[in-house]
Amino acid sequence: MAVWARQVSRWCCLLNTARAAAFPRRLRSRGCTARARREFAPLAVLPAGKEVVLWRLQAYRHVAVGSCSPPDSAKDGSLSSPESNLPSVQQEQVKAETLPDLNVKILDEGWDDIPPSSALQVISEEEAVQIIAEPLLPIQSSTLRDYVDHSETLAKLVHLGVDLSQVEKHQKAGQLLLTLDFEKDVKKILLFLKDVGVEDNQLGRFLTKNPYILGEDLEALETRVAYLKSKKFGKSEIAQMVSRAPYLLLFSVERLDNRLGFFKNELGLSVKKTKDLVIRLPRLLTGKLEPIKENLQVCQIELGFQRNEIQQIVSKTPKILTASKKRLKQTFDYLHNIMGIPHHMLARFPQVFNSKLLRIRERHTFLAFLGRAQYDPAQPSYISLDQLVSLPDEVFCTEIAKASMQDFEKFLKTL
C-alpha cells in the first residue's frame, strides 16, 4: 500500500507539471497578451533547459499509461485504469501529447523583451573587418593637430591655408576654434571677408594672424565697415587696410573714431592726409598709442624737428611713428652730426630713417674715401639721400661712387 501511495503522489506531481507547461499555450490560443501570460504563468514554465522539460514529458507519458489508480479507487479495492475512471486526465494527456518539442526558441516566443546580444558574443572575421572604430578624441592636448580628424571646422580651415601651429600661440584661440561650427559660425564670416575684399589666397594668412574674428558678431563687423565707408574710405582702400591689419575689424566704431581723431589733432593733419596716413600704415589704428606719443616727443624735443617738419616726415614715412626710439636717435645722430645733413633735408628725405645704419655708414665712408660725399643740392656732384640708401650696390658703385664693385668690396674689408 505504501508503494502505491508513493506512485500516486509521483503521478500527481507529474500531472501538475504537465498542466503548468500547457497553461501558457492555452493562454495564447485564447488571445491573451504576452504580459498576461507572464503574470499568470507558474514558475515551472520559466526556461529551465530543453533536457529538463523533455524529461518531465517523458515521465508523464510513462506514468499515464501505467497501472495506477486515484485515491478513491484504492479505498474500495477496485483496480481500473486511469483512462476509464478519469476522463479529464485523458484530455490532459491528449493535449500534452500534441505539444511540439519544447526548446529554448519556442519558449522564448512568448516573451516581449529579448535581451540584447552580449559584448562577448563571438563574431566571424568578416563581421569583424566591417566594424569601423571611431578614433578616440583626446581629453587634453597641447596642439590642435590632435583634433583635426575630429573637427570639420579645423579640417576645412587647414584646407583654406590656416597654420594651426601659429594659431595655437594666440591666447584661447584654439579653444575658440574647437567650439565653432563651420556651417553655422565660420562660413558667414568667410563670405563677409570676401565681400570686404580679402582675396581667397589671403584668407588662410588672414585667419592665421586673427582667428578671433571667427567668433565676432557679423552685424558688429558690418557696422565697422559701414563706419569706414562713412569716412570716405573706398572699397579698395578698406580691403587694403583690413588685409594689412587683420585686427582692424575687431575694434569698435568708437575706438576707430578716437584713433582717427588723435592723428588728425596731434599731428595737425587735414582729413585727407589723415586718411592717407592710416591707409599706408593701418596698424596705427590697432596698435598702442604710448609708443607713438613717445616717438613724437623724441622727434620734437630730442631731435629738434619743427612741427611742420614732423608732419612732412610722418606723411612720407609713417613707420617712423612705430620705430625703435633707440634706432631712431642713432640714425639721426649719424646723419646729422657725422654726415652734416640739416633738419630740412632730413624732412625732405625721411625714408633714410628706414634704412639700416650699417648700410648708411658703409656707403658714406666709401664716398668720403673717394671724395664724393656731397649732400648739398646747391653744390656740384650732389648725391641725394634717397640715392644713397635705395640703390643696389652695383648701381651705387657705377653711377654714384664711379667705382667698381670689387673696389667697394675691398674697401669694406678694411673697415
Q: What is the predicted pLDDT for the residue at 80?
A: 40
Q: Using the structure block, give the residue that is written with the C-alpha cell 622727434.
A: 299
Q: What is the predicted pLDDT for the residue at 142?
A: 57
- Asked if residue 145 has pLDDT above 90, the reply is no
Report the Cα–Cα distance between both ends of the chain, in Å, rounded: 138
Q: What is the predicted pLDDT for the residue at 134?
A: 54
Q: Using the structure block, give the residue that is written with the C-alpha cell 584646407.
A: 159
- Asked if residue 55 has pLDDT above 70, the reply is no
CB 197 within 8 A of CB 239: yes
- Asked if residue 344 has pLDDT above 50, the reply is yes
- Summarised one tens digit per residue, pLDDT across range 74-111 is 444 433 433 434 344 444 444 444 444 444 444 444 44
Q: What is the predicted pLDDT for the residue at 115?
A: 55
Tell me what percent of the residues of the chain surpass a pLDDT of 70: 68
Nine-digit cell at 185? 559660425
List b or e across 61-99, with b for residues whose CB sees 16 or more CB atoms inside 10 angstroms.
Answer: eebbeeebbeeebeeeeeeeebeeebeeeeebbeebeee
- Asked if residue 63 has pLDDT above 90, the reply is no
Residues 167 and 281: their CA atoms lie apart, in Å, by 24
Q: What is the predicted pLDDT for the residue at 119?
A: 58
Residues 41 and 366: their CA atoms lie apart, in Å, by 114
- Amino acid (one-letter) located at 92: E
Q: What is the predicted pLDDT for the residue at 302?
A: 95
Residues 68 and 374: their CA atoms lie apart, in Å, by 144
Residues 39 and 213: their CA atoms lie apart, in Å, by 65
Residues 173 and 91: their CA atoms lie apart, in Å, by 83
Average pLDDT over residues 214-242: 96
- Summarised one tens digit per residue, pLDDT across range 190-200 is 999 999 999 99
- Return left, alpha or beta for 118; rule: phi > 0 is left, psi -120 to 50 is alpha, else beta: beta
Average pLDDT over residues 298-307: 95
Nine-digit cell at 323? 620705430
List b or e across 176-200, with b for residues whose CB sees 16 or more CB atoms inside 10 angstroms.
Answer: bbeebebeebbeebbebbeebbbee
- Asked if residue 19 has pLDDT above 70, the reply is no
Query: What is the rounded (10 degree) CA torsion for 60, 62, 67, 72?
Result: 0
- Asked if residue 44 has pLDDT above 50, the reply is no
Residues 293 and 265: their CA atoms lie apart, in Å, by 13
CB 135 within 8 A of CB 149: yes
Going by C-alpha positions, the residue among 407, 372, 400, 398 that lies closest to residue 386 is 400
| Cβ within 8 Å of residue 371, ≥6 positions away | none
CA 25 to chain centre: 61
Residue 149 or residue 255, greater confidence = 255
Return the H-helix or E-strand segment holding 326: helix 325-333
Nine-digit cell at 268? 595737425
- Return left, alpha or beta for 323; rule: phi > 0 is left, psi -120 to 50 is alpha, else beta: beta
Q: What is the predicted pLDDT for the residue at 128?
A: 67
Pure H helices in 49-186: 50-64, 71-76, 82-85, 87-97, 104-108, 125-130, 152-160, 164-167, 173-179
Q: Using the structure block, give the residue that is written with the C-alpha cell 670689387.
A: 406
- Summarised one tens digit per residue, pLDDT across range 104-131 is 444 444 445 555 556 567 777 777 677 6
Local confidence band at 133 (pLDDT 50, 70, 90 cut-offs):
low
